[in-house]
Chains A and B, each alone.
Chain A
Amino acid sequence: MAKEGMGGGRGRRSGVVTSAKGRGPGRGFWLALGLIAVLGLGALGYVASKPKVTSTAIDPTLPALKAEGYLMGSPNAPLEVIEFGDFECPGCGQFATITEPDVRTNLVNTGKIRIRFMDYPLPMHRNTWDASLAAACANEQGKFWEMHDALYANQDRWNGETTNKPRPIIAEFAKGMGLDMTKYGSCMDNETQRAKVQSHLLEAERRHVTQTPTFIFGDQMVPGALPYDSFKKLVDDALAKLPAGAASGAATGDSAVKSADTAKSKAR
């Protein structure tokens, strides 16, 4: 500070040295600052107000599913919702733990829809293949959905950030749900289900699925960890497109979704 007092600090600026700093920022600076502020706010407002759920129509020429996946719900349900999921993806975990319980209670168990799950192990998740294999091995013993739920509920115990060796941890889940561990062990060691998982992955690629979770409702493909209201609305829309008499159930989720989205865009 002592040195500064020596300089122009006393306000006795000599005429010889003219300083841009001394005059304070000009109008151009404030204009530029304002421009950045307006652009920034505008861009944020735009992305925040964009609809969070974007559905795309599926190419009708695509052949029907070739891979089998894993089914939950009545085969007679009027609508089948397909989920492409990655066991290590946090978005899928969020859907499985937060939204899916409501989906099962209100839509699957009431016979409105059935869910078909397909693995889409993404290349950047290093433990996801082990999880997909474990789920397929559990499926051999009729416990796919138990394993599905255990994997998603405990992602942070076995994911690639936590461990290099997920298999012993996942085996504990298998033991906990009462699987025959000799059968499970040989299924995992010999990777006998690899082809099945691979067929699901190929199905995802054939349908140009680029992210997980991705859902298929009738002729619409929708990515993202959907909240229940959005999921319900998409189910209702798809049911409405079915031939008459196939579906029943009122569209109550509709208004709720819209008001939630507006509230969020205002909150920005």
Chain B
Amino acid sequence: MNKRMLVALVALAGVFVALYLTLYKLGYIGTLACAVGSCEKVQTSKWATFLGLPVGMWGVGYYVAVLGMAIAGLTPALAESRALSRALLGVTAVGVLFSLWLTYLELFVIDAICQWCVISAILATILFVSSWLDLRDVTALLHETATAAAERLRDGSFGGGIRNTSEVALRAVRGEAEER
């Protein structure tokens, strides 16, 4: 299983956690009540709404976006796209920072912990770390492919005429010179 598959699976789980929190906030699940250490205090605090929408709803959008990107990144056309890895890393970085902020609020400002919010924060962290590893994998794979191709060119399997080009390519891959 590569990292993007992991990202897709975790993101889908996140969709459901965020969906649960949203439905709960909107009153479709359970009746509102207060108990020690429960989600209610967090969910009814003023920080449970961000830019006019329940935080959970932002979470649903976030996880759906990550899921979509990860699945797109599994198609052969984008499988080795480093741009996609970078975008994934960027989006999940925002997610993990937002989760960090929410967890800080829970611990030090609202003074209550919502277990589903914590689970979402953990999922966001897994997504970020996986995206990071994915970027590393894709970069390494690109280098490997390019090196192999360049070496085969240099070794003459395609004739000597391209040898110079292949040397340039090899150096580029090794970071010795910038291509183009």
Which residues of A approach B to under 8 Å, CB–CB?
1-4, 6-9, 12-14, 16-17, 19-25, 28-29, 32-33, 36-37, 40-41, 43-44, 47-48, 50, 52-53, 86, 89-92, 94, 122-125, 161, 210-214, 223-227, 264, 267-268
26 A-B interface contacts by CB (under 8 A): A1-B83, A3-B82, A7-B80, A7-B141, A8-B145, A14-B148, A14-B149, A21-B141, A22-B76, A22-B80, A29-B1, A29-B9, A32-B5, A33-B9, A44-B20, A47-B29, A47-B30, A90-B40, A91-B33, A91-B40, A122-B35, A124-B111, A161-B110, A211-B33, A211-B38, A224-B31
A6 to B30, CA, bound (A): 55
With contact pairs A6-B169, A19-B80 given, residues A123 and B28 touching in the complex (Cβ less than 8 Å):
no
Chain B window 15-57, contacts with chain A (Cβ cutoff 8 Å), 1 for yes, 0 for no: 1100110010000111111111110110011100000000000
Which chain B positions have C-beta within 8 A of A40? 12-13, 15-16, 19
With contact pairs A19-B79, A21-B80 given, residues A224 and B30 touching in the complex (Cβ less than 8 Å):
yes
**B141 x A92 contact (CB < 8 A):** no
8 residue pairs, one from A and one from B, having the closest CB atoms: A224-B31, A40-B16, A89-B34, A21-B79, A211-B35, A7-B142, A90-B44, A91-B32
A152 to chain B minimum Cβ distance, whole angstroms, is 13
Interface residue ranges of B55-78 to A (CB < 8 Å): 74-76
With contact pairs A224-B33, A225-B33 given, residues A16 and B148 touching in the complex (Cβ less than 8 Å):
yes
A214 to B31, CA, bound (A): 11
> With A22-B76, A24-B79, A124-B37 given, can you name 20 additional A-B contacts, CB distance below 8 Å?
A1-B83, A2-B180, A6-B173, A7-B142, A7-B143, A7-B146, A14-B152, A17-B144, A20-B2, A29-B74, A33-B8, A40-B12, A44-B19, A90-B44, A91-B33, A91-B34, A211-B38, A213-B33, A224-B31, A264-B28
B86 to chain A minimum Cβ distance, whole angstroms, is 11
**A32 x B9 contact (CB < 8 A):** yes
**A122 x B5 contact (CB < 8 A):** no
**B79 x A211 contact (CB < 8 A):** no
With contact pairs A3-B142, A14-B148, A20-B2 given, residues A211 and B80 touching in the complex (Cβ less than 8 Å):
no
With contact pairs A161-B45, A211-B34, A223-B33 given, residues A6 and B172 touching in the complex (Cβ less than 8 Å):
yes
Interface residue ranges of B122-153 to A (CB < 8 Å): 138, 141-146, 148-149, 152
Which chain A positions have C-beta within 8 A of B5? 25, 29, 32
CB-nearest residue of chain B relative to A43? Answer: B16
**B35 x A210 contact (CB < 8 A):** yes
